């Protein structure tokens, strides 16, 4: 049986060690293989792609273009292929990001990514916070509801279609913490750092979606 190929994009915007280990542990002994993507790639060679991100929206977009990943990824996503974006990897699915400068995103999930505007909040939003499940899904199960995941971010999705929101989180106001359009998912938190529930989400994505 031919192994399914999981692509992990290294956008040079943070350490990918934790997510690499999490995926390797999940696929160990199964008919999957993990390939690191750090340049132009053939979209047809991958069954699923994961993009973890830390740092700024504009920096990640710039790095993806610099390392010739962007065009291949855009082509991959246009076919509604399976994708999981983590933190900034989720945010760049939007139409635009407003971090440092206005930057055009991939335009998969309607909305803008803007900074928390409540001056009473401590920014970045960092640490454990719960998610409220709005819709169940193959990777988002009811047992995630009201459970804590690990967040580190200063910017959030805004003006998003309700139909694209699977879960929200409250920090000054409710913001989308899990989004989906077709086979394309984004999570604002870091599942690879969120213990049991986070690892279960990654496992569900790889094995069930």
97 touches 59 (CB < 8 A): no
Non-local (6+) Cβ contacts of 5 within 8 A are 32, 33, 34, 35, 45, 46, 47, 48
57 touches 99 (CB < 8 A): yes
Residues annotated catalytic, as ranges: 87, 190, 192
Task: Using alpha carbons, select from 90, 94, 122 the residue that is nearest to residue 110.
Answer: 94
Task: Using alpha carbons, select from 48, 41, 39, 30 the residue that is nearest to residue 12.
Answer: 39
């Amino acid at each position: 049986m031919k192994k399914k190929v999981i692509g992990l994009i290294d956008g040079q915007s943070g350490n990918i060690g934790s997510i690499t280990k999490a995926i390797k542990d999940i696929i160990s002994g199964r008919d999957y293989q993990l390939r690191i993507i750090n340049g132009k790639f053939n979209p047809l060679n991958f069954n699923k792609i994961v993009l973890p991100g830390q740092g700024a929206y504009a920096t990640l977009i710039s790095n993806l273009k610099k390392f010739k990943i962007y065009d291949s990824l855009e082509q991959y996503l246009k076919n509604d292929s399976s994708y999981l974006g983590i933190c900034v990897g989720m945010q760049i699915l939007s139409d635009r990001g407003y971090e440092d400068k206005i930057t055009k995103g991939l335009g998969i999930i309607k909305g803008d990514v803007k900074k928390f505007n409540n001056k009473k909040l401590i920014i970045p939003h960092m640490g454990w916070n719960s998610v409220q499940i709005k819709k169940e899904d193959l990777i988002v199960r009811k047992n995630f509801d009201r459970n804590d995941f690990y967040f580190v971010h200063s910017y959030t999705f805004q003006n998003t279609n309700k139909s694209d929101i699977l879960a929200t989180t409250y920090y000054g106001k409710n913001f989308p913490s899990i989004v989906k359009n077709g086979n394309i998912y984004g999570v604002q938190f870091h599942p690879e750092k969120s213990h049991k529930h986070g690892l279960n989400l990654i496992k569900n994505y790889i094995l069930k979606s």
